[in-house]
Amino acid sequence: MPRLAAIVGLALSACIASGCSARRPVHSEPRSTRVEEARFLELGGIEQWITMRGDDASHLILILVHGGPGDVQSPLISTYSPYERDFVLVQWDQRGSGKTYGRYRDGTPDLTLEQLVRDGIELAEYLHGRFTNNAVVVLGHSWGTAIATEMVLRRPDLFSAYVGTGQIASWAESVQWQFDFLEAKARESGNQELLAELEAIGKPDPMNADQYFRFTRSLRAHLGDADSAWLSKLPGLVKGSVSETELQAIIDGMTLSGRSMLPFQMRENLSTNAVRFQLPYYVIQGKDDFHTHGASRDLL
């Protein structure tokens, strides 16, 4: 995670050097003023939780659009603290996630991809008003790349650059790639039970959610060492940062968001619908990311 701050910085430096529209930050507040806020902000007609942290108020604004759906990152303060040296890091508990979910719970209104995109654009507009001339970069992660990509497609004037990691591109292509991956692993390991299950399917139906979640249940067994280590320590990091009530809100928010966003995820096809951008668009993709590995190549 911390290395990503350096990569984002290099990406934006390349953007500036090439003459793109990224502006050097000229801040309305005194230089060297630390920014540290955690509060609700009205976005899209409801109050949504945001945090802003940075060592210098004149630095670039970096909006982190979390994935999941519902996988909020705002509690992981120590994990993301290295970003604060180079950016004013803005974390946003999206509608239906984290502390925003905790405020409205299962009564959260308008939990759709369209509304999340509108909320994100409204957040960027607010940051431009608050930090008058600072450049704003948006960093999308996993499912958050669908939200962030649509944000920059609609309002490229608000952003100086886009950075995606765990970049999604096509649900259907990812489903097929994962199926082929598991089939190859089953043959390689002699897992006859899994192989029989996959052969019975023949060709996966990307719109059949029950089928998909059944045959991909063994994917986690093939995680790389870095991913496994991160996931093993994640529960401890979260539990050490939030109360039991807040932790339950995170879990419940992921359940609600996952259920609500699945129809939008299954229709996602950025490799066809998002191919031209009016700003620098960077993708940082791990070669062992089997969740988005196959389809994301179409965007590179």
Predicted structure pTM score: 0.89
On whether both 214 and 228 belong to a single domain, the answer is no
Q: Is the model's pLDDT at 40 over the cut of 90?
A: yes
In terms of residue numbers, what domain contains 177? 172-219
CA torsion 154-169-293-196 (nearest 10°) is 150
Give the lowest-confidence range in 2-11, 98-107, 195-204. 2-11
Of the residues 219, 234, 250, the one at which a domain ends: 219
Burial of 150 (0-12, 13-18, 19+ CB in 10 A): buried
The confidence score (pLDDT) of residue 26 equals 43
The confidence score (pLDDT) of residue 27 equals 43
On whether both 55 and 180 belong to a single domain, the answer is no
User: Cβ(63)–Cβ(123) under 8 Å?
Assistant: yes
On whether both 110 and 176 belong to a single domain, the answer is no
Separation in Å, CA 252 to CA 121, 209, 290 = 25, 20, 26
On whether both 192 and 73 belong to a single domain, the answer is no
On whether both 204 and 239 belong to a single domain, the answer is no
12-28: per-residue pLDDT in tens? 555 555 545 444 444 44
On whether both 140 and 6 belong to a single domain, the answer is yes
Gap between the Cα atoms of 80 and 34, Å rounded: 16
Q: Which residues pair with 255 in a beta bridge?
A: none
Region 118-125 average pLDDT: 98
On whether both 137 and 242 belong to a single domain, the answer is yes
Gap between the Cα atoms of 133 and 127, Å rounded: 10
The confidence score (pLDDT) of residue 226 equals 82
Contacts of 269 (CB under 8 A, 6+ apart): 169, 170, 171, 172
Count of structural domains, the chain: 2
Q: Mean pLDDT over all residues of the chain?
A: 89
